[in-house]
Amino acid sequence: MANLTIEEKTYSCQPDETVLDALLRGNVNISYACKKGNCHSCMVRSLNGAPPENTQVGLKSTLKAHHHFLACLCLPEQDMTLKLPDQSEFYTEGTVVVNDMLNRNTLLLIIAFKDAFEFNAGQFVNLQRPDGLTRSYSIANTPQESNTLEFHIRRLPGGKFSEWLHDGIKAGDTIAVSEPRGHCFYLPERREQGLLLVGTGTGLAPLAGILTDALAHGHTGPIYLFHGSREAEDLYRIDELRQLAAQHPNFHYMPCLSGPHVPEGFTAGRANDVALATLGDLKGWRIFLCGHPDMVNQTKIAAFLKGASSTDIYADAFLSTPV
């Protein structure tokens, strides 16, 4: 018999009983549906070591790396400490050290921490105002750089949170930051694999972190970054990315504009359309998509039809929340 611990409560798991059945018997509020490992509704995380390998069938490699598993498939081999996906988040206090503009409507916000803040480049966190209002933002830097988190935050007209960050917060202020979430990040495996990164607007934030991380780990395969907006004034870090492409022969950067005016040095068209037209067969490629939900969903389908495996497509869609 194994013991299952969630926060400070412990539940017994009988021989030949799955983790899911044991938690349901203990009246734990855990999501589930098929009980066959297909729906992934009962995915939980092991906090005290890797779960049995067969309980991670069908999960992305990034989820496996963080010891997520399917409770309906798990016959525990030892006592386990678990975290449910809907448990309350824990917040850490950080201090704003940079509060500058990247372009006419995008804020560069950098938050520093006293203690180490563990994350993977490309993950996201929740930022919380003193009154409890909370929004999610992707991390733009890598953990190797410093004990800070970098964010690119677009001002949304009427957006209570984004306007507070743009107008009401300054260097030296403190802000509550949740633990990192999300599985849209780079893992240093298959370094010869092609990487396709497509983003719109501040979707560049997680992609910039993923790109930096891949280059820092010596990724040798081709890396293509397509960053799009309607007007050139809404793109940013163009010169830095062009310089990075000049320094790394395997990295290719294409700023794309969907509006009527396309200056020299930019590519006409939507970033995802340009990407799919530029690259042929995507079999064996790893793909990261960040930005407008319509773009992300359309490109996921198109990339799959061009040969990419669904387990190699990582996506973060940005939902505008102006209230």
pLDDT tens per residue across span 262-279? 999 999 999 999 999 999
Beta bridge partners, 9, equal 6
The answer as to whether 188 is a domain residue is no
The answer as to whether 157 is a domain residue is yes
pLDDT in tens, 101-125: 999 999 999 999 998 888 999 988 8
The answer as to whether 277 is a domain residue is yes
Number of domains observed in the structure of the chain: 3
Residue where one domain finishes, among candidates 144, 178, 212? 178
pLDDT in tens, 18-50: 999 999 999 998 876 668 887 677 889 999 999
In angstroms, the Cα distances linking 211 to 29, 50, 87, 197 are 39, 28, 31, 8
Torsion of Cα atoms, 118 then 120 then 125 then 130, to 10°: 30
Mean pLDDT across 175-182: 85
Nearest to 76 by CA among 55, 47, 60: 55
143, 120 Cβ separation under 8 angstroms = yes
- Decide if pLDDT at 182 tops 80: no
Same domain? For 173 and 246 the reply is no
The answer as to whether 323 is a domain residue is no
CA distance 258 to 56: 41
pLDDT at 323: 45
Q: Kindly report the pTM of this predicted structure.
A: 0.75
Same domain? For 73 and 133 the reply is no
Residue where one domain finishes, among candidates 35, 55, 83? 83
Greatest distance between any 2 Cα atoms in the chain = 68
- Decide if pLDDT at 134 tops 80: no
Same domain? For 151 and 199 the reply is no
Domain range spanning residue 57? 2-83
Band (pLDDT 50/70/90 cuts) for residue 145 is low
